[in-house]
């Protein structure tokens, strides 16, 4: 399966990062969001990221300019009619993803691969929303996309061998490493990582230790480069809660119950770095 033309739906932090990863690897990318303001912010994020890479001598200014020039922004989903691979990076809500799959089914030929950047939702359920479920797969990139080497490739029950092989090969062309997982709530990384962050939050909720000491203990005692609470702030505590709720509902296992303090933090709007306040101040 030949993959040359890329589409990315969603120009937020993840969508912008995914578009940049493809563009810096030589692919022409169509980036779409629902408002011009969102697109402008996404393109600005890409520009800032490319400038940082130039400043760190990870790439030349010529290469950065070339990468930026390979990205075209659009508000029109119909423009994706000729894409070989489309990566969806929208809000982590099944109904939103289902609607996008339905629209793309109408617009795209059967050969187009649909990939979701979902971090926890069932790919099998997402694939079932397509008239051609065998072309649906998960491509779970990690933030910041430019720096993180892993892409979790998630096979739905319906995903064909040809689609899986094409996506794994494409990840390699991005200079990243694909690791394939069977479809299961949270897959591997988030199934292990997010409950750890949730348990660190419970340690604070139960007054076992302060946020500073919880993180210090995990760095000093477990050799973690970043404490779990600081990592939760970086990810976004609302995202942590979303994943925990998916795990809790999907597995129906009380070990995945979101911490009451996590819920309170989200209710208060203390979501981490993006709001300036989470378990720490920014």
**Which CATH number goes with the domain that contains 10?**
3.40.50.720
Which of 119, 120, 122, 259 is catalytic? The answer is 119
Does 162 share its domain with 227?
no
Q: Does residue 10 share a domain with residue 106?
A: yes
pLDDT of residue 189: 96
Indicate the pLDDT class of residue 260, thresholds 50, 70 and 90. very high
Q: Is the pLDDT of residue 30 over 90?
A: yes
How far does Cα 238 stand from its chain's mean position?
A: 14
Same domain, 172 and 52: yes
CA distance 28 to 66: 10
Residue 25 forms part of a structural domain: yes
Helices (H) and strands (E) in the chain, counts: 11, 8
Q: Are residues 227 and 260 in the same domain?
A: yes
| Catalytic site residue from 88, 116, 122, 152 | 152
- Same domain, yes or no, for 33 and 148? yes
Among 127, 153, 182, identify where a domain stops. 182
Domain stop point among 149, 182, 215: 182
Determine, yes or no, domain membership for 282. no
Residues 38, 54, single domain; the answer is yes
Same domain, 99 and 22: yes
Same domain (yes/no): 100, 175: yes
Which entry of 88, 117, 120, 140 is annotated as an active-site residue? 140
The candidate with the shortest Cα–Cα distance to 218, out of 231, 203, 228, is: 228
| Per-residue confidence (pLDDT) for residue 41, from 0 to 100 | 96
Does the annotation place 272 within a ligand binding site? no
Q: For residues 93 and 99, is the Cβ–Cβ distance under 8 A?
A: no
Q: Do 145 and 220 sit in the same domain of this protein?
A: no
Q: Yes or no: say if 265 and 257 are a contact pair by the CB < 8 Å rule.
A: no
35 is catalytic: no
**Average pLDDT of the chain to the nearest whole number:** 96
Is the bond preceding residue 144 a cis peptide, omega within 30 degrees? yes
Whether 51 sits among the annotated catalytic residues: the reply is no
Clarify whether 248 is annotated catalytic: no
Distance separating alpha carbons of residues 48 and 39, to the nearest angstrom: 14
Q: Which domain holds residue 217?
A: 190-273
Q: Which residues are CB-contacts of 179 (< 8 A; sequence separation ≥ 6)?
A: 150, 151, 152, 153, 188
Q: Is residue 60 part of a domain?
A: yes
pLDDT for 213-248, tens place per residue?
Answer: 999 999 999 999 999 999 999 999 999 999 999 999
Whether residue 127 sits in one domain with residue 80: yes
**Per the domain annotation, does 151 fall within a domain?**
yes
| Active-site entry in 190, 198, 248, 259 | 190
Confidence band for 282, pLDDT divided at 50, 70 and 90: very high
Nearest to 166 by CA among 2, 7, 43: 2
CATH number at residue 226: 1.10.1040.10
| 205 and 178 within one domain | no
Nearest CA-CA partner of 151 in 124, 116, 121: 116
Q: Let me know: does 138 contact 156? Beta carbons within 8 Å.
A: yes
| 259 annotated binding-site participant | no
Average pLDDT over residues 25-39: 97
pLDDT given for residue 117 in this prediction:
97
**Tally of domains within the chain:** 2
Is 14 among the annotated ligand-binding positions?
yes
Considering the domain architecture, whether residues 47 and 173 belong to the same structural domain is answered as yes
């Amino acid at each position: 399966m030949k993959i040359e033309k890329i589409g990315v739906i969603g120009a937020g932090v993840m969508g912008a990062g995914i578009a940049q990863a493809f563009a810096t690897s030589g692919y022409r990318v169509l980036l779409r969001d629902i408002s011009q303001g969102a697109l402008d912010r996404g393109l600005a994020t890409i520009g800032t990221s490319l400038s940082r890479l130039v400043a760190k001598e990870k790439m030349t200014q010529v290469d950065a300019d070339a990468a930026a020039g390979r990205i075209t922004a659009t508000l029109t989903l119909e423009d994706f009619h000729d894409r070989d691979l489309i990566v969806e990076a929208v809000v982590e809500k099944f109904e939103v993803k289902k609607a996008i799959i339905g629209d793309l089914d109408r617009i795209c030929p059967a050969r187009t691969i649909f990939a979701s950047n979902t971090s926890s939702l069932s790919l099998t359920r997402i694939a079932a929303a397509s008239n051609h479920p065998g072309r649906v797969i998960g491509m779970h990139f990690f933030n910041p996309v430019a720096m993180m080497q892993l892409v979790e490739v998630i096979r739905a029950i319906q995903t064909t061998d040809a689609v899986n092989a094409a996506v794994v090969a494409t990840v390699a062309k991005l200079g990243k490493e694909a690791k394939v997982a069977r479809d299961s709530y949270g897959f591997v990384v988030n199934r292990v990582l997010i409950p750890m962050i949730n348990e660190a939050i419970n340690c604070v909720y139960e007054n076992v230790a302060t946020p500073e000491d919880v993180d210090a203990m995990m760095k000093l005692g477990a050799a973690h480069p970043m404490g779990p609470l600081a990592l939760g702030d970086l990810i976004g505590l609302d995202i942590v809660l979303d994943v925990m709720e998916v795990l809790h509902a999907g597995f129906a296992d009380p070990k995945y119950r979101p911490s009451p303090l996590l819920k309170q933090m989200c209710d208060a709007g203390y979501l981490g770095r993006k709001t300036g306040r989470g378990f720490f101040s920014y």
